[in-house]
Structure 1
């Protein structure tokens, strides 16, 4: 059960979106956001490592976004499926260890299974580096390099975008770190598809 909770915690942190203030951003970053928002169907594959003072867990992921519905699969490095989250029109489904758990939405499902609440609907902004926040910091090419926000539960999160790759005229993250207190998630985004 402890491994299940660690896997879920890693999952929560990975897809934790951002509660942010909307602030005007320069023209170049707005163009990037608009280009990304034009795509209602996309997929990203990669690796993540969940690091806490007591333990380190890693997994591969395949995360799909299709017209505002998410589908996430976490697998071990030898290909064993750890969990799968699927959002349907009227409910969400989490499959773990051969068992299926259902709820009206992903956030409620995750909270019911783990006690954690997470803003699933904002995950695409955080993952694609299109977050709008007063704390945003940009490099000379107007790519987001750092941001800090407070989630709806009052927890402070920090994201650092370490590397970008150019895809369809968009600079998309290829390496980043998400931190909250003594938790850290290193994320490598290997393949974006539209």
Structure 2
């Protein structure tokens, strides 16, 4: 009888202890799951996406088709109208960025962000966007959703003109959760991406 009572008390204490630990356990599982997810995103270096991008400024609104191809740190971005007319092409390597506009004029500079700003007066963070577009919050503070995916991020150390991003849709491709809808905002400029297809390249 004493043995049975001891066992009952032990089980009661064990269950009571477990009941007090879920928040801590959930935090550990959350951190582990996000760590694995981020490792997958970081390792994804060769990919392409197609979709649409909308650009909003106080005086203008434009919508384009976007095709983005990435190989390590080199990228090619092509913007076209809905009729397929080329609007902008960006080719970036480690040493040089080349931009070809709608008139076929070519511009080059070592830094992609500086070159695009000089041409458009839009401060678009191309360098960081190579990671942010995948849902990797480099150089940013961020918040995760219930599925351990980045729900929001805010660029660090550029106050008060930091970029912020809100992610509203993810889908899984070969085991990696990738964003399909995201919106970047900085002061009065917004960029909305509606990605239709991701493709992982060899």
Q: TM-score range by the shorter chain?
A: 0.7 to 0.9
Q: What's the counterpart of residue 128 of structure 1?
A: 134
Q: What's the counterpart of residue 57 of structure 1?
A: 62
Q: Deviations over 1:9-55 (max 9, x none)?
A: xxxxxxxxxxxxxxxx8221221121122232111111011123433
Richer in helix (by share) = 2
Q: 1:119 to 1:178 in 2, by over 3 A?
A: closer
For 1:42-53, list aligned pairs within 5 A: 42-53=47-58
Q: What's the counterpart of residue 76 of structure 2?
A: 71
Give 5+ residue unaligned stretches, structure 2: 1-29
Normalised by the length of structure 2, the TM-score is 0.75
Per-residue deviation, 1:135: 3.6
Q: What's the counterpart of residue 34 of structure 1?
A: 39
Q: Deviations over 1:139-171 (max 9, x none)?
A: 111111112224648512221101111111111
Give 5+ residue unaligned stretches, structure 1: 1-24
Q: Is 1:83 the equivalent of 2:110?
A: no
Per-residue deviation, 1:100: 0.7
List 4+ stretches of structure 1 deviating above 6 A: none
Distance (Å, rounded) in 2 between the aligned partners of 1:91 and 1:53? 31
- Residue 185 of structure 1 is aligned with which of 182, 191, 196? 191
Per-residue deviation, 1:182: 2.4
Instruction: Tell which structure's C-alpha radius of gyration is larger.
Output: 2
Q: What's the counterpart of residue 170 of structure 1?
A: 176
Q: How many pairs does the alignment contain?
A: 170
Distance (Å, rounded) in 1 between the aligned partners of 2:95 and 2:141? 35
Distance (Å, rounded) in 1 between the aligned partners of 2:130 and 2:98? 19
Q: Deviations over 1:91-133 (max 9, x none)?
A: 2111011111112232332244345555433222211111056
SS at match of 2:155: strand
Q: What's the counterpart of residue 152 of structure 2?
A: 146
Q: Is 1:157 the equivalent of 2:184?
A: no
- Does structure 2 retain, via aligned residues, the 8 Å contact 1:151–1:157? no
